[in-house]
């Protein structure tokens, strides 16, 4: 039986200060292959290389991965600041147009971390560069040691850190069959104002938006602020999400 194909967006990396490389985290690829049951195919976040129409002729769905780079502030009407770099404007260009195209054509799209933020901006929403700076918010960034260095243990970095309350009778509540889930947290930027078609599906204890869907989307169009790709092989919540994404890849387009 032919496997469905998932396009996994790549990020720009500057290697050794000399080479520009496009790459995606291996856990994203394994989540698609091992849990969604699809063939992951990376495509570049470069607008002069990736033509969206041609891409959607090839893939059955799209995974918008997390990334270190923030969405460029000019994409939602804010002046850029050096403190919130790095940016990846090539990926912005590809991802924002791709979100709209996927939703319009009913191509399943799953946004993870930066991917959720891109989905929000694509539909006119805004972001805050440091959610932890807003009154009453917790620090959603990855754990660090007392000397400021990133914690060396991935199990600590990706450990579940806070609850998310799901919207009653929403897409996520129906899919997961519960009212509250517990998730990891590794982000600075987050949703400030939801876009015009963005439906809030779950919020953290401090009010940070953690899960969204796109109103009126004819196909799977969900986004999560946490890193669901880290452990869907063992985490029941993340497994259900990637399995649902996988099922959507072979469902008839509406």
Annotated catalytic residue within 84, 93, 113, 140:
113
Q: Is 187 a catalytic residue?
A: no
Q: Is 227 a catalytic residue?
A: yes
Annotated catalytic residue within 171, 201, 210, 229:
229
Q: Is 210 a catalytic residue?
A: no
Tokens of 18: 């000399």
> Alpha-carbon distance 245 to 162, whole Å?
24
Measure the CA angle with vertex 237, ends 232 and 241; round to 5°.
Answer: 70
Annotated catalytic residue within 128, 140, 187, 227:
227
Note whether 97 and 91 are within 8 A (CB): no
Catalytically annotated residues: 113, 227, 229
């Amino acid at each position: 039986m032919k496997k469905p194909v998932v396009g996994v967006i790549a990020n720009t990396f500057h290697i050794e200060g000399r080479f520009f490389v496009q790459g995606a985290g291996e856990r994203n690829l394994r989540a698609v292959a091992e849990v969604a049951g699809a063939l992951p195919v990376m495509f570049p976040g470069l607008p002069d290389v990736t033509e969206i129409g041609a891409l959607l002729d090839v893939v059955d769905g799209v995974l918008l991965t997390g990334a270190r780079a923030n969405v460029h502030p000019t994409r939602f009407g804010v002046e850029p600041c050096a403190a919130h770099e790095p940016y990846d404007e090539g990926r912005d260009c590809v991802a924002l147009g791709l979100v709209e195209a996927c939703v319009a054509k009913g191509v399943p799209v799953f946004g993870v971390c930066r991917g959720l933020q891109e989905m929000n901006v694509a539909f006119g929403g805004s972001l805050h560069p440091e959610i932890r700076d807003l009154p009453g918010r917790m620090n959603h960034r990855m754990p660090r040691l007392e000397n400021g260095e990133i914690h060396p243990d991935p199990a600590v970095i990706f450990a579940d850190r806070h609850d998310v309350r799901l919207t009653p009778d929403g897409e996520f509540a129906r899919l997961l069959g519960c009212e509250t889930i517990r998730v990891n947290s590794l982000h600075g930027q987050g949703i400030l104002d939801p876009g015009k078609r963005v439906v809030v599906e779950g919020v953290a204890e401090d009010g940070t938006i953690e899960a969204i869907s796109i109103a009126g989307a004819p196909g799977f169009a969900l986004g999560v602020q946490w890193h669901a790709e880290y452990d869907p092989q063992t985490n029941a919540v993340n497994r259900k999400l990637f399995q649902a994404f996988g099922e959507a890849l072979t469902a008839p387009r509406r």
